[in-house]
Amino acid sequence: MARKFFVGGNFKMNGTIASIKEIVQNLNNATLDPNVEVVIAPPALYLLLVRDSIKNGVEVAAQNVWNKPNGAYTGEISVSQLKDSNINWTILGHSERRTILAESDEVVSSKTKFATENGVSVIWCCGESLAEREAGNTISVVSGQLEALKSQVSDWSRIVIAYEPIWAIGTGKVATTEQAQEVHAAIREWLKKEVSQKVADETRILYGGSVTEKNSKDLSKQPDIDGFLVGGASLKPAFVDIINSKQ
C-alpha cells in the first residue's frame, strides 16, 4: 500500500491573531494536492482559532501534550482537551523540547504512548546534533531514540516519524537529498528489524530541517521520504508550494 504523502507545518512560538488568520486564508484559498495529508500546528493559544477557520481536509496539531489525564499540571494541555477541541494531532519530541527543555527519550515516549492510546496521533521527532553527525553517530543516536519509543509503544498506526537533524533546523543548512534518504532508509530498516515489516512499510517518515520550496521537490523524490515537517517556511505563502511538491 502506497504511503500517503504528509506535510506538517510547525509554527513554533510564532504568530498573532492577524498573521495566523492570514496563513489560514492563504491555505483556504489555495489549491492543495488532494493526495497530500496536511497538518498545521499553531501555538496552543490559537488552536481553536485555526480549527474553527481552516478548510476541510487540513488537520490541526498541538505542539505538545501531557502524559497524564486532566489534573494539577499547571501550564500543560491534556489529550482529552485536544479531543474535546477536535484537535487530533500533536507534535512530540521536537529537538527544541529535547534540548532546550531537557525532555528525555523516556518522557517523549511516555507522552507518545499516552496520546496514541487515547486517540491523538503523533508526529514523533528524532534527530542528531552536528557533533553526533560529525562523529558518525547519526544512526546510533536515532536508533536509541526509536528504541526508547518502542519500549513504551505497541501501536504504531497513529505515529508519523519526523527525522530532523538538529544541525539543519532553522540554520539554513539542509541535509543533501542523499544524506536525508540514507537516514530515512536506516529508520525504515530499523522498523523492519525491530518492529515488523508491516510497520516499516506503512509508517511515514518525514524530513524536517530547513525545508523550503526550493529543495522540497528533490527531497520528495526519494523513496523513503514520505513528506516534510516544515518550520519557518510554514509561515509563508510558499508553504503551499511545499505541500504541492509532488505535483
- The amino acid at residue 146 is L
Q: Are 124 and 161 in contact (CB under 8 A)?
A: yes
- Which DSSP string corresponds to 169-194? SSSS----HHHHHHHHHHHHHHHHHH
What cell numbers appear for 186 in the block? 536506516
**Structure confidence at residue 82 (pLDDT):** 98
Active site residues: 94, 164
Dist CA 183 CA 231 (whole Å):
20
Dist CA 141 CA 159 (whole Å):
19
Q: Are 168 and 177 in contact (CB under 8 A)?
A: no
Q: How many CB atoms lie within 10 A of CB 119?
A: 12
Dist CA 24 CA 44 (whole Å):
15
Indicate the fold that domain 5-243 takes in CATH.
TIM Barrel (3.20.20)
Q: Are 23 and 33 in contact (CB under 8 A)?
A: no
**Structure confidence at residue 241 (pLDDT):** 97
Query: Cell 504512548, residue?
Result: 113
Dist CA 240 CA 7 (whole Å):
10
- Which DSSP string corresponds to 25-51? HHHHHS---TTEEEEEE--GGGHHHHH
**Structure confidence at residue 60 (pLDDT):** 98
Three-state DSSP at 121 gives strand
Query: Cell 528524532, residue?
Result: 126
In order along its 247 residues, the chain shows pLDDT tens digits of: 689 999 999 999 999 999 999 999 999 999 999 999 999 999 999 999 999 999 999 999 999 999 999 999 999 999 999 999 999 999 999 999 999 999 999 999 999 999 999 999 999 999 998 889 889 999 999 999 999 999 999 999 999 999 999 887 777 777 789 999 999 999 999 999 999 999 999 999 999 988 999 999 999 999 999 999 999 999 999 999 999 999 8
pLDDT digits (tens, 9 = 90+) for 152-177: 999 999 999 999 998 877 777 777 89
Dist CA 207 CA 109 (whole Å):
20
- Residues whose CB falls within 8 Å of the CB of residue 219, separated by 6 or more in sequence, listed in order: 177, 180, 207, 211, 225, 228, 245
Where along the chain do its domains lie? 5-243
DSSP character for 102? -
Q: How many CB atoms lie within 10 A of CB 31?
A: 9
**Structure confidence at residue 1 (pLDDT):** 60
pLDDT digits (tens, 9 = 90+) for 74-108: 999 999 999 999 999 999 999 999 999 999 999 99
Q: Which of 151, 152, 140, 103 is nearest to 125 (CA)?
A: 103
Query: Cell 495566523, residue?
Result: 20
